[in-house]
A and B are shown apart, each in its own frame.
Chain A
Amino acid sequence: MTDPLAPPANGPVAAAVLSCGIGCFLLGVLDVAADGSKAVAGALNFYKPTGPLSGVTTVALVGWVICWALLGLSWKNQAVSFKKVAAASFFLLALGLLLTFPPVGDLLLGR
């Protein structure tokens, strides 16, 4: 029997937060990868007028949504350690924000 006083399961919220962090990180990684490699930039050039930006953002968004769906299914009705999830999510978000800043990408690419 479910305890009516038990805190509500935070798994779906944790899945949404962590997948958002992963999506932001993926965006930053793909941004730097497309900037540093002509092959990657060419592969991500999904829509020519927009250029590699179209592929960078599409792949990041698809990755985000897939992560959200998979984590959401895994953590459905579960209570997870939210502090750990939050720490990992903020770390990934911060990396994503940093990697979109061109001087950081240039530093990593040795320019």
Chain B
Amino acid sequence: MEVDFRELVTIFHGMLFGGFFLMALSGALVLLLERPRPVPEKVPIWQALFLGKLVALGWLAVLSGAYIVYPWYRAVAPPGADLALYGKQLLVAHGNTAGWHTLGMEWKEHVAWIAPMAATMVAWVMLRHRAVWNAQREVRVTVLGFAGAALLAAAIAGGWGAMIDKKAPVQGGPSYRLMGDAK
């Protein structure tokens, strides 16, 4: 059982950073739906760590996607090359798969960035201005709305990413054996 370098990086991008970011966003929504409590002296350390991890995962997901995985996907194949290593060209070469790029990738690559932007704002308000969040209902509703938008954007990006990678897997580079013997 082997995995190659590009597959491994894609796993980190989509499943580790993106997947855990989605789960953390769901947790943040639960936190934001809590009833406001009397202003604590300090934000609990577990909340600070959780919100910090949420923001870090979001940025790691979009940055690894845009600057590591996406260049492999959109690379131009030299004449006669195996298109299996050039995802974008593989998809647009056929009418029945072109939409995975023209709709899916074109949407995913941009909408994804809204998620960490909104998540950063949400975390900043919760960590630095909890007293305002506690005191004003409209602030709580607005922050909750932006967290919901972040979850929607991340779900769109993650969902399309998973489906596109099934149609045109990003692959290549040295292989690593995970278990078992090579035959």
Contact = CB atoms under 8 A, between A and B. Distances in A.
Contacts of A24: 114, 117-118
Task: Give the secondary structure class of A's interface.
Answer: helix
Given A17-B121, A27-B113, A102 B143 contact: no
Contacts of A10: 132, 136, 139
Nearest to A9: B132
Interface in A86-111: 86, 89-90, 93, 96-97, 100-103
B124 A100 contact: no
A13 B133 contact: yes
A60 interface: yes
Range for the number of chain A residues in contact with chain B: 35 or more
A16 B125 contact: yes
A82 B136 contact: yes
A77 to B, nearest CB: 12
A96 B112 CA distance: 11
A16 B127 CA distance: 13
Contacts of B106: 35, 102
Interface of B: 62, 66-67, 70-71, 74-75, 102-103, 106-107, 109-111, 113-114, 117-118, 120-121, 124-125, 128-129, 131-133, 135-136, 138-139, 141-143, 145-146, 149, 152-153
